[in-house]
Amino acid sequence: MNLLSDSWTMCLFYQYKELAWQAKGHKAVLNKVTGLATLHGVTVRGRCVTEGLNCTLTASANDVRAFCYALRRWDPEMFDTMDFKLEDGVPHRASFRICTLRKVDEFVGYALNGVKAPSLCRHVEEHPGRPQVAWKDTILVHVLYVYESDIRHFQPPD
């Protein structure tokens, strides 16, 4: 890999967990991800809920990849098929200064007072140019943090 010495890699990933972690497992995954980030010199912004993780990472290309492989080794059942979205050559000024992985009740604060979303066992099939939703009366929403939309945006294929 031939990258500028002052460039970084950004990695986005999210992973939902069917059956949700109990309190002990939720804390364990938060500690493990934070520990792996520290070990590999990766800074994280993300949320850890009982139903999964949603994170953005920044570090050197090698350190980000080492973190991703370590996460897969730690829990292959959950992370082996995860799609880590990597972008190399990100300017250093776009990197995160500290790790802020928060244990929260919801990915997005809907104030549902503990009501959980239905099972995620159904999948949306993607077709070139646009996602196709297989269920009647379904709305597909994709949410980005402000810093994610400032840095990158999705571009539909031509």
pLDDT in tens, the chain (158 residues): 555 566 789 999 988 877 777 888 888 888 999 999 999 999 999 988 888 888 999 999 999 999 999 999 999 988 888 889 999 988 888 888 888 888 887 766 666 666 665 554 444 445 455 555 556 666 666 666 665 556 555 555 55
121 belongs to a structural domain: no
The domain tally of the chain equals 1
Q: Report the distance separating Cα 156 and Cα 44, nearest Å.
A: 27
Contact assessment for residue 57 and residue 67, using Cβ atoms and an 8 Å cutoff: yes
For residue 107, what are the domain limits? 7-113
Residue that the structure tokens 């800074």 belong to: 43
pTM of whole model > 0.75? no
C-alpha neighbours within 13 Å on the C-beta side of residue 14: 12
122 belongs to a structural domain: no
84 belongs to a structural domain: yes
CATH number, residue 47: 3.30.70.100
